[in-house]
Chains A and B, each alone.
Chain A
Amino acid sequence: MQIRPFRLSVLSLSLLIPAALVAVVLFLVVYSGQAMLFNGLHFIFNINWNLGDLYSDPVTVNGISVPPGANYGILVFIVGTLLSSFIAILIAVPLSVGSAIFLAEAVPHRIRPVLSMLVELVAVVPSVVFGLWGIAVLVPFIGHYLSPTGNGYGLLASAIVLALMVTPIIASTLLDALMQVPKENRESAFALGATHFEVVSKAMMPMVRTTLIGGIVLALGRALGETMAVLMVSGGGINILPDSPFAPISTIASFIVSQLDSAEADPTNMSVRTLSELALVLFLITLTVNATAKLLTSGALNVRKRQS
């Protein structure tokens, strides 16, 4: 085979992408190896996160050196991550479906691009600016009007901020799909005497259902890994499962950030290793969700659409 230097060089550049991904997974796995041995599998179901006594001499457990009293339970963070994201999706779905329908059908052609650009811009506002707005506007609002304790930081604030951040993902996916529904389908529904809203809700929405679900799962993947905005409004609850919408929570991502200082103080590095394991757990969760979204949108599971 002929050697083509140009093709080889761009190929090697593009191979850097898989290489980076493999390196990320590999180093997280290797680095968290000792933590996996120490924590076992039950740390997923344990709610108690304790760095142990960092100033005493480390003790040796099963041949692994850890600070005395160290115990790394991550259930609180898994629950916080899943719960805040699911509530966010519950809020985001009606918002984005309503906005997409309104943009597709009710808005005059001239202002549609402006409004749909505004919706898209919600997605590009940096996470940390959302967090700032959360602290300045949303948290005081929740604390003043909704929360019985007067504290606005917590699960609900996190979920609302997350919902706002992922709404544009669902809305723009759905808007694109709605605009592609064939004219004939709309017109036949009108001809049957349906009102305009019935045309949208009963004739058009069923056609874009798969796309909608794909968009929702994609948004879920984004919400699960969101860090800064959640960190700033979540209240940083640890060692207790949330029992109300106003309870402080931590997500895996926000917890990793918040642990930087204490992890650096650990002479055995075991907490740094466990955080690495935690990052791996987050990676696996988002990978599963994103892969599901990809299967849904690529049409591998899209039997209904193919038949019609």
Chain B
Amino acid sequence: MSASVSLKAPRSVLELRRAVVSNIGWVACGLALLLVIAPLLDIVGVVTFNGLSAFSIQLFTKSTGGDTNGLLNAIVGTLVITVFAMLIAVPIGIGAGVHLSEYGKNKLGGVIRFLSDVLTGTPSIVLGYFSYIVFIIGFGWGFSLAAAAITLAILIVPYLARITELALQQVPNSMREAAYALGSNDATVVSKVVLPAAAPGVITGTLLGLAISVGETAPLIYTAGWSDYTWDGRFTHAPVAYLTYVIWTFIDQPDAHSHALAYAAAFLVMLVVLAINIGVRLVVKHGKTA
């Protein structure tokens, strides 16, 4: 592991001290790594254990409220919010990424890139509060699916644009030139040549956006509200339930029944987020070595 281990017997006090200091250094570094990874394993362990012991088929067939063991309203809500957020975010994010990569090598592109980074760095609660004053108070939508989906889309678009841009940058210029030489126009070059070649990267970005929208809480509190009923198909004037809400409010309830539901919800959310992230990393790595 360290070169100092292989040293012969130290010849002087100084050398001995250096060897000792080095070994202490390695132990400290190893401990640091352990302290970072151990909590992750503990989180996964605690949530999986408690989540699985609360697991039942009722989770998917009944809604919260009363004494049921159901999370149906929250599961449906998270799915619907995520689907609509992605429906808004994917075309905008990929389109913006195409512009930044293909035609954004100028001052305007630089400005858009910088402001996109600023938006990425903006705390999600600030975006949530913005949506609250505009959509809920200003437009009078009330807590609603539309406000929640738009807020999540604002959160995801800059990520997606940046990942798309990076993916398109990997496509060699010769492919673009060949396509233009065959008489293709801009739209054909991008849609038939550049985007297919960069598809794995773009899909990765979309999946990571999906993971973000499933795991987010703060921007939804002020936009989606909460409802004990399953989504009724309305886009405005109807609050929507979502899984992460169950986690942070039910764990504060005094009864074990609510705690069990909180862990079950946390297990579902963590499962989706970790599965997407591990899957994406494995596929990307596999693609690199192949």
Contact = CB atoms under 8 A, between A and B. Distances in A.
A119 B268 CA distance: 21
A136 B46 contact: yes
Given A102-B32, A195-B19, A286 B123 contact: yes
Contacts of A136: 46, 50, 251
B43 interface: yes
5 contacts: A6-B190, A95-B36, A126-B273, A128-B247, A129-B43
A106 B30 contact: yes
A132 B119 contact: no
A128 to B, nearest CB: 5
Interface stretch (A15-23, A52-60, A62-70, A240-248): A15-23
Contacts of A231: 248
Interface of B: 1-4, 7, 18-19, 21-23, 25-26, 28-33, 35-37, 39-40, 42-43, 46-47, 50, 91-92, 95-100, 102-104, 111-112, 114-119, 121-127, 129-130, 133-134, 137-138, 154, 157-158, 161, 185-187, 190, 211, 214-218, 221-222, 244, 247-248, 251, 262-263, 266, 269-270, 273-274, 277-278, 281, 285
Given A10-B95, A106-B2, A137-B42, A121 B278 contact: yes
Contacts of A31: 133
A132 B266 contact: yes
A217 to B, nearest CB: 11
A290 B117 contact: yes
A124 B211 contact: yes
Contacts of A167: 36
Contacts of A11: 99, 103
B13 to A, nearest CB: 15
Given A17-B119, A283-B123, A6 B218 contact: no
Interface of A: 4-7, 9-11, 13-18, 20-21, 23-24, 27-28, 31, 94-99, 101-103, 106, 113, 115, 117-122, 124-133, 135-137, 164, 167-168, 171, 190, 195-199, 201, 221, 224-228, 231-232, 253, 256-257, 260, 272, 275-276, 279, 282-283, 286-287, 290-291, 294
A119 B36 contact: yes
B12 to A, nearest CB: 12
A202 B218 CA distance: 43
Given A122-B36, A287-B118, A130 B127 contact: no
Given A17-B158, A231-B248, A102 B30 contact: yes
B27 to A, nearest CB: 10
A125 B134 CA distance: 30
Contact of A121 (B1, B104, B190, B274): B274
Contacts of A119: 33, 36-37
Contacts of B222: 257, 260
